[in-house]
Amino acid sequence: MKRWLPLAALLVVAACAKAPTLVVPPAPPPVMLTPAPMPAGGRPGMAIPERLPDGSWATPNRNLTPAGAVWHLRSALNVAALACRGPLEATMVADYNALLGRQKTAFASAQTALERETKAGGGDWRDRYDDQATRLYNFFAQDFARDAFCTAAAQVLSEAQTVTPAALPAFAAARLAQLERPFTDFFAAYERWRSGAMVPAGEVAPAVPRLTVDVSTLG
């Protein structure tokens, strides 16, 4: 009988031991959804490019040849050098002018090739070429994405200083997407607002200063 006493005592002690407490974390607060806000710089009824089946936007920078990419890069950076203001303005202008000097032959060749491509389409090629150039400059001169565009352009101009003429077409094709992104991000945000999409409460696009550029002065 006595030999069962220690075992009985252990059972009593185990029974009296405090059971571990299961801590259940509180449920996270529900995410409050509100209609997507109109992005800064937007206005009701404004026209934005068409959203294509692949999810991209119908901008002037689609389906470019290597020569087209080089010339469109030059055009975008030309707009930035003339339109961007602030602490980086002087550096951007200097970098742009240095780029023009270093890539003079490559840019001239790209322009000639692009004109030849336009001529191949027949008809009044010069009028078509000028219309395309105006559309391109107007695209990059849109003020609703100015701050982000200028930031991207400053980075591209800095990187372009070490690009060789042979590498310029590949560089241009990659960096055009970077220079377009501020605009396509705006288009996506505007589309969400226009469609009434729901987003987390408080999601508001940052304010963007508005600045008008006279594209007739762009070279």
Taking only the tens place, the pLDDT of each residue in 160-181 is: 999 999 999 999 999 999 999 9
What pLDDT shows up at residue 19? 59
Does any domain span residue 42? no
Does any domain span residue 173? yes
Does any domain span residue 177? yes
CA 173, CA 156: separation in Å to the nearest integer? 12
Q: How many CA atoms lie within 13 A of 217 on its CB side?
A: 9
Indicate the number of domains in the chain: 1
Output the CA–CA distances (angstroms, integers) from residue 171 to 62, 103, 141, in the order listed: 16, 13, 22
> In the chain, what percentage of residues exceed pLDDT 90?
63
Does any domain span residue 150? yes
Provide the whole-model pTM.
0.76
Does any domain span residue 59? no
Taking only the tens place, the pLDDT of each residue in 21-33 is: 777 778 777 777 8
Please, what is the average pLDDT of the chain? 84
Q: Could you give phi then psi for residue 155, rounded to 5 degrees?
A: -65, -45
Q: Is 99 exposed, middle or buried (0-12, 13-18, 19+ CB in 10 A)?
A: buried
Radius of gyration of the chain measured on its C-alpha atoms: 30
Q: Which domain holds residue 191?
A: 79-205
Does any domain span residue 34? no
Which candidate, 160, 143, 141, 146, places its Cα nearest to that of 92?
Answer: 160
Does any domain span residue 48? no
Does any domain span residue 17? no
Q: Could you give phi then psi for residue 93, rounded to 5 degrees?
A: -65, -45
